[in-house]
A and B are shown apart, each in its own frame.
Chain A
Amino acid sequence: MAKIHVTTTINGEPTEFLCEPQQTLLDVLRDELRLTGSKEGCGTGDCGACSVTFDGRLICSCLALGAEAEGHEIETIEGMAEGENLHPLQQKFLEHAALQCGVCTPGILIAAKALLEKNPDPSESEVRYWLAGNLCRCTGYDKIIRAVLECAADMRGA
């Protein structure tokens, strides 16, 4: 089967790739572009480990096709830090020990960033419901929620 040529923007970089029609965006990111920061925990949109933004909207990249990226802007965990500077959420996760094994962390960071862009002053419940699609089996979420809330407060103050 002929491969599809896709022209897109990933983390601000103009990017071209070839993909098979059935390849998911996650497959393309990981296997074709070697951006392995997005993880496959389920492949069915239930765990959120593959979270990316698609034109600024939070999606599970396992539920989008690679070919759908044509002409759109994708942001992944690899684009979250700016040069040597970690995003405030990344920094706050480190300070709060808001990760243990770290495999859900990229997806949770992407999701939390999308939340704070939409709602800079979320309540604890709003953070919990926004992140309900991002499974973490290690932390019990406590330190994750605290990190997001504190980061939001810092960013509002800054």
Chain B
Amino acid sequence: MASENQELKWIGTSPVRPDGTDKVTGRAKFGADLMLPGMLTGKILRSPHAHAKIKSIDTSKAEALPGVKAVVSAADIAEMPSEWVPAGELQLNYRDLASNIMARGKALYDGHAVAAVAATSAAIADAALDLIAVDYEVLPHVIDVEEAMAPDAPVLHEDMFTEGVTPTPDKPSNIFKEIDIGIGDVETGFAAADLIVERSFKTAPVHQGYIEPHAAVASFAEDGQAELWCSTQGHFTARAYCAKLLGMDVSDLRVTASEIGGGFGGKTTVYVEPVALLLSRKAGRPVRVVMTRDEVFRASGPTSGAANWVKIGVTNDGKIVAGEAVLKYQAGAFPGSPVQPGCMCAFAPYDIENVKVKGYDVVTNRPKVAAYRAPGAPIAEHAVESVLDEVAKKLGMDPIELRQKNAAREGTNAAYGPKFGPIGYAETLAAAKAHPHYSAPLGPNQGRGVASGFWFNVGGDSCATMNVSEDGTLVLATGSPDIGGSRASMAIMAAETLGIDVADVRPIVADTASLGYTFLTGGSRVTFATGMAVIEASKQIAEELRQRAAKIWDISVDAVVWEDGYAKPAGANAGDFEPLSIGDIAAQAGKTGGPISANAALNAQGAGPGFGTHICDVEVDPETGRVTVLRYTAIQDCGKAIHKAYVEGQIQGGAAQGIGWALNEEYIYDEKGRLDNPGFLDYRIPVASDLPMIEAVIVEVANPTHPYGVRGVGEVPIIPPMATVANAIEGAIGVRMTELPMSPPKVLAALDNGR
């Protein structure tokens, strides 16, 4: 069996992905691509108001329209008690989830679902929505996070009394929770500082921006069992949420994950899935619900916008003696912003004795936020990495050198709790400093920025089933939706462990009835955690193959080794028999004990934290304020790259999303609290002509808990870009930008003020 000490045959290569041909030919079936006989079209009526009491909903005219087969509203979902469950890196509350699926009593944001219909055609469904009469009483609304925290702000939830403060307030507010983390004593720390820099920052809510809108097809049978097909990052978690909302036994709901057209965290919860199920149950026919892009922007995602303040104290030799931050994240209409991980990540890359971070989780009249790639971290680290850049400039120190002097290393006590094991932050900094990009010349109006990022990476529940076919090829089933090439990395790890050809492993994503519970694709966990299940199943197969070979040869199993894809006689029997391939053994499986099959079910612990350091060159047009990214290099410790090209792809894609967050993307509301830019024309994600090539540099400091050293890749690369770009702009124009996005009007204003 291969081990990390042996030469690796497949790991680190880039074979063509097993699902590739389906995806370049249009064959791959995504959420909206399934059609069932008798299927109805479901559509959702949404609130046009940011905040309104729902006095009544009259669906009688819609129900009477020929072709309408079902109408549902909050009345069709049982009221839930408040109960928090894990959802990706975040927590989800069933009571709030139910109210987000269908507004109960109040509509809390523009786009909040109020009712839904299923009809025999899209045109009839649209007509039916127009016939639903909702009597609203419009209430004052609040969009901005700091305005929502003001004592006289309109209150979204009358039963929300801030948690985390003693005594609990006697008045409801929009502050769901206060969070405090830290170590040491910042007062003492700042007292020892030679230089203190503090700044306030604002970040805009940004959408995950997956190109495939949410889509689900549900089919309920008369006996109460149902099937659900949906675009999701986790079909097991989608099953859990939907079964809860519909009052079903979990095993009565079979969920199949379609191919998923991007998620980035935004498909870790449910929106249209329970609605399709409710409509199907009522109509007795299959129902498909697909969001429009307008609905995606108004009613799903995004991540928080925030108002942050950071203060850092250093000695003249560049040692950080204290770091303090206040982070105010808006959660959207229901509590649960990623402020907790934001607080934990803020200073995590650094070895600082005195750290204090205060976080606020604040509700506003916007869509409930969803996880977005390293949820919470980019928002907090943008502020810290911007202030560090300013500190470096004031000290006259190279910004990488400042980070090197303070970088967390193995044994560093992180401010959020743990002591780091082997980590690769220092290695990414060294690689950045040595990269030719860092010393390349710059032209007029150009600047260079550098910044870093930290993310925990997570493990969790995963299963893998491996069946050896009669010809010795393998089917490998996991429960992790393949969002960016994970089938390929699973096949690579199986082939490496068994010593066989990667083309002989056929990886599939199994539905919820065909495999044990597997937590969702998120937290950069799949290659790590599901990978560990795959390796475990592969080892079981290898062990079984040894036993079968021993039977065939009629020798002790101890005298058989599995090596380079063959069972070989060893010890005293060495050379006595011709080695047997997996195909040779599979052909005789019936005679040696039956089919060869393995199942691994585990909870993967010991995810290895990830660090990245990015370098960016920009040119600022002094006439228009437009920022052009000229060159971008993203360096990251991945532990071990399993499929090299898809690891690079994760880094490049995360960097591109971060550049969009830095320069273009934001939710814009009108005075009535309605989203003004719910489309890709006005919410502008980076297009091909906006970006240069993005050079991904992989650093490998092995995570000792994974057999091949995997840490996880997907999330870290979105963290550094906002500060990297801001620091580059500062280098170009000499002005510190503190508000995202750094769009032309803001840069122009900064230029005018700075002049």
Contacts and interface: CB of A to CB of B under 8 A. Distances in A.
B25 A145 contact: no
Nearest to B292: A43
B25 A80 contact: yes
B139 to A, nearest CB: 31
What is the size category of the interface that chain A forms with chain B? 35 or more
A40 B649 contact: no
Contacts of A35: 26
Interface stretch (B29-37, B46-54, B610-618): B29-37
Contacts of B16: 94-95
B745 interface: no
A23 to B, nearest CB: 9
B688 A128 contact: yes
Interface stretch (B61-69, B259-267, B417-425, B541-549): B259-267
A97 B33 contact: no
Interface stretch (B184-192, B204-212, B598-606): B204-212
Contact of A40 (B32, B485, B687): B32
Nearest to B645: A97
Contacts of B19: 102
A38 to B, nearest CB: 7
Given A49-B211, A143-B649, A39 B261 contact: yes
A34 interface: yes
Contacts of A154: none
Given A20-B123, A138-B649, A38 B26 contact: yes
A103 B24 contact: no
Interface string A35-54: 11111111110110100000
B20 interface: yes
B123 A109 contact: no
Nearest to A131: B688
Interface string A120-140: 000001011101111111111
Nearest to B683: A46
Contacts, number: 186
A78 B652 contact: no
B23 interface: yes
Contacts of B290: 40
A37 B680 contact: no
A41 B211 contact: yes
Task: Name the residue among B290, B485, B653 with the largest chain A CB count within 10 angstroms.
Answer: B653
A81 interface: yes
Interface residues of B, number: 62
A34 B427 CA distance: 51
A31 B35 CA distance: 8
B657 interface: yes
A137 B209 contact: yes
Nearest to A76: B26
A128 B212 CA distance: 22
Interface in B211-259: 211-213, 259
A119 interface: no
B694 A101 contact: no
Given A100-B649, A137-B262, A139-B653, A94 B688 contact: no
Nearest to B23: A102
B299 to A, nearest CB: 15
B21 interface: yes
Nearest to A90: B24
A135 B211 contact: yes
A152 interface: no
Given A44-B680, A137-B211, A96 B645 contact: yes
A39 B686 CA distance: 20
B157 interface: no
A117 interface: no
Given A49-B211, A100-B653, A138 B262 contact: yes
Given A34-B35, A99-B24, A103-B211, A43 B293 contact: yes
B131 interface: no
B261 A102 contact: yes
A152 to B, nearest CB: 15
12 contacts: A27-B122, A36-B26, A37-B26, A40-B290, A44-B293, A46-B681, A76-B26, A100-B649, A101-B211, A101-B261, A103-B259, A142-B691
Given A100-B650, A139-B649, 10 more contacts: A27-B122, A42-B293, A96-B645, A101-B483, A103-B211, A105-B23, A131-B687, A138-B484, A138-B649, A140-B656
Cβ-closest 8 pairs across A and B: A37-B26, A103-B261, A140-B656, A102-B23, A97-B645, A46-B680, A77-B26, A140-B652
